[in-house]
């Protein structure tokens, strides 16, 4: 439950401000938003590194961490909204696949660098100082990201000129409502967003299972470092699955079309958790981590391109902010629901089977061929 609440603490605050983030992305230069967001996050992490180094904890540290995560969602929504302005429509799926693949690879690399640095530094310093160095290195990464953002022209990724108006909270709420109306007119995009959120919620439940299994079943609970290493390895395997899923997405779409490939991907996501329900073994966990991540990411990449192609740039920032909010809400729901059911050991046939069942129901309802087509 503590882990599930951690997901809620990290994600829910952004869900409340997400709609207004979308309005910002449709009002100001998205290039400037990316540039200054990365700079602000780098400064934020430098302060966090100072706090951690001094062993300081509490509300102020929590707020700083939440800011770092919240800014990340602004960056991701801005990139998704701006991508269609620099890529031809027929190349959107490939471009999203490349972006996700690069991101996934660097997530794994970053995790490895963080663990490696901590292992090297811990004998030389206390744990707080080691963690502070890791956070400091992360801040350097965001400074590099800000420099890369500066390589874009100010208006290269939008918004277009017709959106340059004064923004306000009232205007933001009005425009969010217009965005929902726009999604209602493009029901396949809206259904795709909901299906992607369901998949992410189930994936979060699997992460919680992995955390408990590695912490309390596969390793001695009195040695949490071994459990942490096990979780890191499982997440690395999931990261490889994410990368593979992004790579095969263009191939699947070319062979089956966007809508059918998303449906097949969600069905594919439903298969691997059943093995974990049958056998609580470390290889079952790795199998589920790899294939659920593979099919889930392939589905998300395809849906990102679908939404990008359906939504006019006038609404794109707001729609992708709503997209993030819906997915975040599903992640928190999946974490809390599974936390209520799972035993401390993480051994459970019920939760993996429920995940598979929900995936299959969603594939048969939200993504049913009669409702989820390019004609809607």
% of residues, the chain, pLDDT over 90: 48
Q: Is the pLDDT of residue 262 over 50?
A: yes
Tokens of 82: 């701006």
The residue among 254, 158, 249, 274 whose CA lies nearest residue 196 is: 249
H/E stretch holding 130 reads helix 127-150
Considering the entire predicted model, what is its pTM? 0.81
Look-up: residue for tokens 């953002």? Answer: 149
Provide mean pLDDT across the span 329-339. Answer: 91
Confidence of residue 293 (pLDDT cuts 50, 70, 90): very high
Whether the pLDDT of residue 50 is over 90: the answer is yes
3-state DSSP of 229-248: HHHHHHHHHHHHHHHHHHHH
pLDDT of residue 359: 97
Q: Flag whether pLDDT at 164 surpasses 70.
A: no
Write down the pLDDT at residue 376. 44
Residues composing the chain: 376
Mean pLDDT of 4-31: 75
What's residue 183's pLDDT?
79
Domains along the chain?
Answer: 2-161+172-365 (1.20.1250.20)
Q: Which of 107, 134, 110, 114 is nearest to 52 (CA)?
A: 134
pLDDT tens, residue by residue, 51-66: 999 988 888 888 888 8
- Report CA dihedral (311, 314, 320, 323) to the nearest 10 degrees: -70
In the predicted structure, residue 305 carries a pLDDT above the cut 80: yes
The DSSP symbol for 373 reads: S
Out of 17-21, 120-124, 190-194, 243-247, least confident range = 17-21
223 pLDDT band, cuts 50/70/90, is: confident
Backbone φ, ψ for residue 123 (5° rounding): -65, -20
Q: Is the peptide bond before 293 cis (omega within 30 degrees of 0)?
A: no
Residue 202: which residues within 8 A CB-CB, separation 6 or more? 269, 273, 292, 334, 355, 358, 359
Q: Which two tokens stand for residue 149?
A: 């953002």
Q: How does pLDDT run across 133-161, given as a tens digit for each residue?
A: 999 999 999 999 999 999 999 989 988 77
The whole-number average pLDDT for the span 96-108 is 81
The mean per-residue pLDDT over the stretch 196-218 comes to 94
Q: What is the pLDDT of residues 165-188, one digit of tens each?
A: 555 556 656 666 776 777 788 889
């Amino acid at each position: 439950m503590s882990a599930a609440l951690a997901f809620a603490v990290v994600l829910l605050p952004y869900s409340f401000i997400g709609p207004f983030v979308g309005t910002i992305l449709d009002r100001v230069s998205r290039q400037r938003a990316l540039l200054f967001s990365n700079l602000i996050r780098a400064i934020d992490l430098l302060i966090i590194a100072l706090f951690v180094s001094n062993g300081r904890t509490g509300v102020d540290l929590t707020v700083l961490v939440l800011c770092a995560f919240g800014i990340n969602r602004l960056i991701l929504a801005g990139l998704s909204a701006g991508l269609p302005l620099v890529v031809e429509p027929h190349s959107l799926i490939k471009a999203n696949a490349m972006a996700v693949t690069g991101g996934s690879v660097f997530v794994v690399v970053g995790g490895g660098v963080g663990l490696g640095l901590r292992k090297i530094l811990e004998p030389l310093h206390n744990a707080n100082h080691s963690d502070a160095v890791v956070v400091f290195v992360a801040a350097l990464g965001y400074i590099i990201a800000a420099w890369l953002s500066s390589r874009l022209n100010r208006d290269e990724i939008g918004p277009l000129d017709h959106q340059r108006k004064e923004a306000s909270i009232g205007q933001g709420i009005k425009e969010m409502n217009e965005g929902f109306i726009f999604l209602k007119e493009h029901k396949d995009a809206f259904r795709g967003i909901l299906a992607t959120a369901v998949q992410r919620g189930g994936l979060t439940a699997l992460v919680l299972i992995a955390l408990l299994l590695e912490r309390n079943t596969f390793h001695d609970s009195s040695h949490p470092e071994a459990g942490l290493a096990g979780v890191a390895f499982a997440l690395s395997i999931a990261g490889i699955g994410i990368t593979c899923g992004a790579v095969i997405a263009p191939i699947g779409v070319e062979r089956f079309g966007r809508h059918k490939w998303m449906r097949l991907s969600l069905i594919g996501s439903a298969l691997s958790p059943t093995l974990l329900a049958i056998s609580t073994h470390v290889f079952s966990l790795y199998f589920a981590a790899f294939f659920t991540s593979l099919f889930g990411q392939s589905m998300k990449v395809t849906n990102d391109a679908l939404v990008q192609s359906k939504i006019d740039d006038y609404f794109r920032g707001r729609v992708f902010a709503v997209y993030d909010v819906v997915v975040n809400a599903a992640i928190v729901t999946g974490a809390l629901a599974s936390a209520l059911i799972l035993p401390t050991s993480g051994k459970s046939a019920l939760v993996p089977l429920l995940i598979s069942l929900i995936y299959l129901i969603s594939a048969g309802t939200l993504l049913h061929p009669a409702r989820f087509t390019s004609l809607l």
